Amino acid sequence: MIGLAGDLGAGKTTLVKGVARGLGSDPDAVTSPTFTFLHVYKGRIPVYHADLYRLENVAQALDLGIEEYLGGDGVALVEWFANAPSLLPSRRLEIFLEVEGAERRKIRLEARGEGWQKLLEEAATWR
Protein backbone atom coordinates (compact mmCIF):
# COMPACT_ATOMS: atom_id res chain seq x y z
CA MET A 1 0.00 0.00 0.00
CA ILE A 2 1.25 3.43 -0.94
CA GLY A 3 -0.37 6.46 0.66
CA LEU A 4 -0.36 9.75 -1.25
CA ALA A 5 -0.67 13.13 0.46
CA GLY A 6 -0.59 16.67 -0.84
CA ASP A 7 -2.79 19.62 -1.55
CA LEU A 8 -5.27 19.58 -4.44
CA GLY A 9 -3.25 19.82 -7.66
CA ALA A 10 -0.01 18.56 -6.07
CA GLY A 11 0.25 15.66 -8.53
CA LYS A 12 -1.12 12.65 -6.68
CA THR A 13 -3.13 11.35 -9.64
CA THR A 14 -0.26 12.15 -12.02
CA LEU A 15 2.00 9.98 -9.87
CA VAL A 16 -0.57 7.17 -10.08
CA LYS A 17 -0.49 7.50 -13.89
CA GLY A 18 3.26 6.88 -13.79
CA VAL A 19 2.91 3.82 -11.56
CA ALA A 20 0.12 2.47 -13.78
CA ARG A 21 2.27 2.93 -16.87
CA GLY A 22 5.19 1.15 -15.19
CA LEU A 23 2.96 -1.79 -14.32
CA GLY A 24 1.54 -2.14 -17.82
CA SER A 25 -1.73 -0.24 -17.47
CA ASP A 26 -2.87 2.53 -19.79
CA PRO A 27 -1.95 5.82 -18.05
CA ASP A 28 -4.57 7.65 -20.11
CA ALA A 29 -7.25 5.57 -18.38
CA VAL A 30 -6.19 6.86 -14.95
CA THR A 31 -8.51 9.50 -13.52
CA SER A 32 -9.12 10.72 -10.01
CA PRO A 33 -11.60 8.48 -8.18
CA THR A 34 -12.75 11.35 -5.96
CA PHE A 35 -16.45 10.65 -6.52
CA THR A 36 -16.25 6.86 -6.88
CA PHE A 37 -13.60 6.23 -4.20
CA LEU A 38 -11.86 3.46 -6.19
CA HIS A 39 -10.67 2.62 -9.68
CA VAL A 40 -9.00 -0.63 -10.73
CA TYR A 41 -6.47 -0.67 -13.59
CA LYS A 42 -5.36 -3.98 -15.08
CA GLY A 43 -1.76 -4.60 -16.11
CA ARG A 44 1.05 -6.97 -15.15
CA ILE A 45 0.03 -6.21 -11.57
CA PRO A 46 -3.38 -4.71 -10.78
CA VAL A 47 -3.36 -1.08 -9.64
CA TYR A 48 -6.00 -0.13 -7.07
CA HIS A 49 -6.38 3.65 -6.98
CA ALA A 50 -8.46 4.99 -4.09
CA ASP A 51 -9.26 8.55 -3.11
CA LEU A 52 -10.48 9.16 0.44
CA TYR A 53 -10.88 12.94 0.08
CA ARG A 54 -14.68 12.82 0.33
CA LEU A 55 -14.77 10.01 2.87
CA GLU A 56 -17.31 10.82 5.56
CA ASN A 57 -16.32 8.04 7.96
CA VAL A 58 -14.39 4.78 8.09
CA ALA A 59 -17.61 2.74 7.88
CA GLN A 60 -18.21 4.20 4.43
CA ALA A 61 -14.84 2.88 3.23
CA LEU A 62 -15.51 -0.52 4.79
CA ASP A 63 -18.88 -0.67 3.01
CA LEU A 64 -17.02 -0.16 -0.26
CA GLY A 65 -14.76 -3.13 0.52
CA ILE A 66 -11.55 -1.11 0.57
CA GLU A 67 -9.82 -3.59 2.90
CA GLU A 68 -9.78 -6.18 0.09
CA TYR A 69 -7.74 -3.83 -2.07
CA LEU A 70 -5.33 -2.62 0.61
CA GLY A 71 -4.16 -6.17 1.20
CA GLY A 72 -4.88 -7.51 -2.25
CA ASP A 73 -2.78 -8.96 -5.02
CA GLY A 74 -1.89 -5.62 -6.58
CA VAL A 75 -0.54 -2.21 -5.70
CA ALA A 76 -2.92 0.01 -3.74
CA LEU A 77 -2.33 3.75 -4.12
CA VAL A 78 -4.51 5.73 -1.74
CA GLU A 79 -4.91 9.49 -2.08
CA TRP A 80 -5.77 11.33 1.15
CA PHE A 81 -4.85 8.19 3.12
CA ALA A 82 -4.71 10.14 6.41
CA ASN A 83 -8.52 10.45 6.30
CA ALA A 84 -8.82 6.82 7.45
CA PRO A 85 -5.81 5.98 9.64
CA SER A 86 -7.49 2.96 11.24
CA LEU A 87 -7.75 1.26 7.83
CA LEU A 88 -4.08 1.55 6.97
CA PRO A 89 -1.80 -1.46 7.08
CA SER A 90 1.21 -1.02 9.34
CA ARG A 91 3.50 -1.80 6.39
CA ARG A 92 3.21 0.97 3.82
CA LEU A 93 4.98 3.73 1.96
CA GLU A 94 3.79 7.31 2.42
CA ILE A 95 4.52 9.86 -0.29
CA PHE A 96 4.06 13.54 0.48
CA LEU A 97 3.90 15.95 -2.47
CA GLU A 98 4.38 19.68 -2.10
CA VAL A 99 3.92 22.25 -4.87
CA GLU A 100 7.03 24.40 -5.36
CA GLY A 101 6.02 26.02 -8.62
CA ALA A 102 3.96 25.37 -11.74
CA GLU A 103 6.26 22.53 -12.85
CA ARG A 104 8.10 21.69 -9.61
CA ARG A 105 7.22 19.37 -6.75
CA LYS A 106 9.00 18.48 -3.55
CA ILE A 107 8.56 14.81 -2.70
CA ARG A 108 9.15 13.23 0.71
CA LEU A 109 8.96 9.48 1.30
CA GLU A 110 8.30 7.84 4.65
CA ALA A 111 8.53 4.09 5.15
CA ARG A 112 6.30 2.27 7.60
CA GLY A 113 7.43 -1.29 8.21
CA GLU A 114 10.62 -3.19 7.57
CA GLY A 115 10.18 -3.99 3.88
CA TRP A 116 9.58 -0.41 2.81
CA GLN A 117 12.36 0.89 5.07
CA LYS A 118 14.88 -1.48 3.48
CA LEU A 119 13.77 -0.47 -0.02
CA LEU A 120 14.19 3.25 0.76
CA GLU A 121 17.64 2.64 2.24
CA GLU A 122 18.68 0.77 -0.93
CA ALA A 123 17.21 3.47 -3.17
CA ALA A 124 19.24 6.12 -1.35
CA THR A 125 22.41 4.46 -2.70
CA TRP A 126 21.27 4.48 -6.35
CA ARG A 127 22.96 7.01 -8.57
Round to whole Å and give the CA distance between 33 and 48.
10
Fold of 2-123: Rossmann fold (3.40.50)
So what's the pLDDT on residue 120?
87
So what's the pLDDT on residue 69?
80
So what's the pLDDT on residue 73?
87
Q: Name the pTM for this structure.
A: 0.88
Inter-CA distances, 2 with 12, 49, 123, Å = 11, 10, 16
| Per-residue pLDDT at 87 exceeds 90 | no
| Per-residue pLDDT at 70 exceeds 80 | yes
**What is the band of 40 on the pLDDT scale with cuts at 50, 70, 90?**
very high
So what's the pLDDT on residue 48?
94
Q: What share of the chain is helix, strand, coil (3-state, %, to 5)?
A: 30, 30, 40
Domain ranges of the chain: 2-123
Are 69 and 38 in contact by the 8 Å Cβ rule? The answer is: yes
Total residue count of the chain as it appears in this document:
127
